[in-house]
């Protein structure tokens, strides 16, 4: 088979898309996939999204689908290689949280839309932290992610200054992380501008100074539509 090349913005290849029902049955959704949206936000602690499938074999009758299913997902950008071009949730599956809509589209086929989120988001809802936490805020965040949220995902944590002692009053791990985000001061940049969020590549706890110090991946130039520069038409 010839290698598929990228033709349109936002195009992706489905490598794996398996739904594991609450009874343990695995269903391959790859042939039935109609739409997939993944939401990633610097102000959002966990990944969320929706998936729409063309359900021609009444998937709900096998489970049924009750919002406690695992979604193993792996997608890649056509024509590109490298880990940064692959979104892989085959080892750390996403979790279905709700069946948003079922609609008949004819010929005894239903279009089913489901919402999903990171596994850590569900664990956070079920976990409470009630103990004394000692260390820098970056150390405390790392402890919350690795121990309390039981996450095996990568964590980029920018070191924060000073040692702290926090008494967690029976609150969720993300609430502890929220306290750290508001109060942590960057050891390198001396700024209290931390953010905590999840990307498809893992979790991040870093300040604006650390983000601004990155080498730009692209540069934008302002021009007036329909005009040319001195060297002629720009190569976009």
pLDDT of residue 142: 95
CATH of the domain at 178: 3.55.50.20
Boundary residue ending a domain (117, 147, 175): 117
pLDDT of residue 230: 60
Looking at the structure, do residues 143 and 111 belong to the same domain, yes or no? no
pLDDT of residue 41: 93
Asked whether residue 223 is domain-assigned, the answer is no
**Of 202, 215, 209, 216, which is closest to residue 160 (Cα–Cα)?**
209
Q: For residue 83, report the phi and psi dihedrals to the nearest 5 degrees.
A: -60, -30
Q: Is the pLDDT of residue 68 over 60?
A: yes
Asked whether residue 218 is domain-assigned, the answer is no
| Residue 117 CB partners (closer than 8 Å, separation 6+) | 46, 47, 48, 49, 94, 95, 97
CB atoms within 10 A of CB 63: 17
CATH of the domain at 25: 2.40.10.10
Which residue would you say has higher pLDDT here, 92 or 101? Answer: 92
Query: Is the CB of residue 180 less than 8 Å from the CB of residue 141?
Result: yes
Boundary residue ending a domain (117, 142, 163): 117
Looking at the structure, do residues 137 and 89 belong to the same domain, yes or no? no
Looking at the structure, do residues 107 and 130 belong to the same domain, yes or no? no
Q: Is the pLDDT of residue 1 over 50?
A: no
pLDDT bracket for residue 2 (50, 70, 90): very low
**Of 91, 101, 5, which is closest to residue 52 (Cα–Cα)?**
101
Q: Is the pLDDT of residue 199 over 50?
A: yes
DSSP H helical ranges for the chain = 119-126, 137-143, 173-183, 208-212
Q: For residue 181, report the phi and psi dihedrals to the nearest 5 degrees.
A: -60, -40
pLDDT of residue 234: 58
Looking at the structure, do residues 98 and 191 belong to the same domain, yes or no? no
> Which residue range(s) make up the domain with 189?
126-212
Which pair of tokens denotes residue 148? 């309390």
pLDDT of residue 23: 79
Which residue would you say has higher pLDDT here, 98 or 63? Answer: 98
Looking at the structure, do residues 101 and 156 belong to the same domain, yes or no? no
* Rounded-to-integer distance, Cα 219 and Cα 114, Å: 37
pLDDT of residue 223: 72
Instruction: Specify the pTM.
Output: 0.81
What DSSP string describes 141-157? HHHIIIIIS---S-EEE
For 32, the 3-state DSSP assignment is helix
pLDDT of residue 235: 56
The total number of structural domains that make up the chain: 2
Looking at the structure, do residues 103 and 186 belong to the same domain, yes or no? no
Looking at the structure, do residues 70 and 17 belong to the same domain, yes or no? yes
* Rounded-to-integer distance, Cα 99 and Cα 102, Å: 8
């Amino acid at each position: 088979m010839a290698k598929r090349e990228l033709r349109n913005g936002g195009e992706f290849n489905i490598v794996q898309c398996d739904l594991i029902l609450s009874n343990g049955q695995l269903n391959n959704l790859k042939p039935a996939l109609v739409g997939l949206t993944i939401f990633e936000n610097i102000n959002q602690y966990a990944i969320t999204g929706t998936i729409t499938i063309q359900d021609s074999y009444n998937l709900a009758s096998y489970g049924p689908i009750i919002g406690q299913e695992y979604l193993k997902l792996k997608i890649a950008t056509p024509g590109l290689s490298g880990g940064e071009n692959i979104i892989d949730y085959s080892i750390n599956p996403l979790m279905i949280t709700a069946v948003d809509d079922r609609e008949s589209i004819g010929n005894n086929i239903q279009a089913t839309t489901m919402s999903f989120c990171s596994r850590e988001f569900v664990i956070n809802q079920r976990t409470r932290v009630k103990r004394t936490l000692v260390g820098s805020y970056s150390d405390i965040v790392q402890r919350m992610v690795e121990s309390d949220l039981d996450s095996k995902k990568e964590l980029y944590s920018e070191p924060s200054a000073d040692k702290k002692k926090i008494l967690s009053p029976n609150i969720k791990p993300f609430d502890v992380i929220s306290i750290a985000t508001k109060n942590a001061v960057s050891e390198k940049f001396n700024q209290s501008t931390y953010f905590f969020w999840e990307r498809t590549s893992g979790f991040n706890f870093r300040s604006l100074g650390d983000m601004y110090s990155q080498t730009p991946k692209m540069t934008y130039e302002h021009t007036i539509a329909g005009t040319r520069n001195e060297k002629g038409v720009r190569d976009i």
